[in-house]
Amino acid sequence: MASAAPQNSSQMACNSEIPGFLDTLLQDFPAPLSPESPLPWKIPGTVLSQEEVEAELAELAMSFLGNRNAPPPFAAAVTHKAISQLLQTDLSEFKKLPEQKEEEEEEKALVTLLDAKGLARSFFNWLWEVCSQWQKQVPLTAQAPQRQWLVSIHAIRNTRRKMEDRHVSLPTFNHLFGLSDSVDRAYFAVFDGHGGVDAARYASVHVHANASHQPELLTDPATALKEAFQRTDEMFLWKAKRERLQSGTTGVCALIVGTTLHIAWLGDSQVILVQQGQVVKLMEPHKPERQDEKERIEALGGFVSLMDCWRVNGTLAVSRAIGDVFQKPYVSGEADAASRELTGSEDYLLLACDGFFDVVPHQEVAGLVHSHLLRQNGSWLYVAEELVAVARDRGSHDNITVMVVFLRDPQELLDGRAQGTGDAQADIGSQDLPTGLSELETNTSQRS
């Protein structure tokens, strides 16, 4: 698998779309927003900590530009430029104080809260300014070639009252965070919330942003991901205490850096690799019944009990998660991580929540995907939708999210090679590897 592909016809087509996109955007918004103008996006709450600003504004802009069909590399690059411009200004005009009676003195001193609405308005105007400048000349950084990815995603609420899963597909990681080296990076993640959607939504916005700021990102990406989970948990816990939130989320992510796969996970969301039709197990999910997890929880003074399933302190069925403020430290926010070199013989990654993996064993995935590709003559667009349907038909009542990230052309998987199924345990370099969207339904196929 090459770290970066040469610019192909689809990328050239995307670049040719940029001038027309900018013309239309600036026709719809001929001037910056006035103080009385309605905002073109929904702001994430009333206040943001200074540490949350970059990721939250990036989420606003990427969603806004994506809904207007902006070419993804351009959308990420213009978002990065606008955020960089905003963060160079004095943000003190947006400063707000926390409610004094609810916050501990130490936290009041450490955390600066900013007015989210004012920031969002100012940020849009910076975005407008950058687009106006780029209408005259689009910089090469916004047109830089990137590896093309085929990603099939499907997510359903299923029989649950609310959809608490979130997912992220970010092939434009470098563009969004201003990384200009020659190494291609792409990030994919699934988050499975419980007790509300707040934690899953927060993780889907902040984990990759926190990873981008880790000093280890360039030298040890697996550690960067692990630290990003930890920092996101710390940030969300402070928000949860301030806003009285009780939700939590498991999560799994994959960051592909050149020819190396790095993964990190927390809880029972999982990622598997399929290589030449064989399932390669990359990780061990965090569950209360795992002996090492049970011993960790009991050493802290908690307990694991069997009810309808194994639960921590009689409540949660996962032993590690972001959030769950009232179950810390028994439910740990410390992720595990692992790395694996890719040789070019890998077929695809599959990331999914427990709503899928609780009813579909690892060893069946390759056969299901292969059967779908055969029936569809190699078309990959709806493979995730079929996998979700299989899980639902087998009795899963949970939210279900499945993401399939192809590492080579799906047509190649059918040409001249018999597909097998199995569960081959791979030898992978690891760190602490254990021994023992608001929509009710989403269906996305990305070629980016």
Q: For residue range 57-68, list pLDDT tens digits in order.
A: 999 999 999 999
Burial of residue 171 (number of CB atoms within 10 Å: 0-12, 13-18, 19+): buried
211, amino acid identity: A
User: In degrees, to the nearest 5, what angle opens at C-alpha 320 toward C-alphas 169 and 295?
Assistant: 150
Is-contact 228 208, C-beta < 8 A? yes
> Each residue of 169-187: pLDDT tens digit?
999 999 999 998 989 999 9
Is the pLDDT at 26 greater than 60? The verdict is: yes
What is the pLDDT averaged over residues 124-141? Answer: 95
What average pLDDT is seen over the chain? 89
The lowest-confidence range among 56-60, 384-388, 418-422 is: 418-422
pLDDT of 2: 31
What is the pLDDT averaged over residues 346-375? Answer: 97
pLDDT of 140: 86
Q: How confident is the model at residue 39 (pLDDT cuts 50, 70, 90)?
A: very high
- DSSP H or E run through 120: helix 116-136
pLDDT of 147: 86
What is the pLDDT averaged over residues 346-371? Answer: 97
pLDDT of 205: 98
Please state the φ and ψ torsions of residue 388, each to the nearest 5 degrees: -65, -40
The lowest-confidence range among 12-16, 142-146, 239-243, 354-358 is: 12-16
For residue 329, say if its preceding peptide bond is cis, omega within 30 degrees of 0: yes
pLDDT of 357: 97
Higher-pLDDT residue of 101, 36: 36
- Which are the contacts of 255, defined by CB distance < 8 A and separation ≥ 6? 173, 185, 186, 187, 208, 211, 221, 224, 225, 261, 262, 263
Is-contact 258 183, C-beta < 8 A? yes
Question: d(Cα 41, Cα 120) in Å, to the nearest integer?
Answer: 8
Is the pLDDT at 302 greater than 70? The verdict is: yes
- Which are the contacts of 328, defined by CB distance < 8 A and separation ≥ 6? 237
What is the pLDDT averaged over residues 223-236? Answer: 98
pLDDT of 142: 86
Percentage of the chain beyond pLDDT 70 is: 86
The lowest-confidence range among 73-87, 139-153, 177-191, 362-376 is: 139-153
Higher-pLDDT residue of 242, 144: 242
pLDDT of 111: 76
- Which are the contacts of 448, defined by CB distance < 8 A and separation ≥ 6? 72, 148, 149, 151, 169, 171, 172
Q: How confident is the model at residue 7 (pLDDT cuts 50, 70, 90)?
A: very low
Is the pLDDT at 225 greater than 80? The verdict is: yes
Q: How confident is the model at residue 11 (pLDDT cuts 50, 70, 90)?
A: low
pLDDT of 308: 86
pLDDT of 277: 94
pLDDT of 320: 98
Nearest to 228 by CA among 309, 303, 291, 173: 173
Is the pLDDT at 105 greater than 70? The verdict is: no
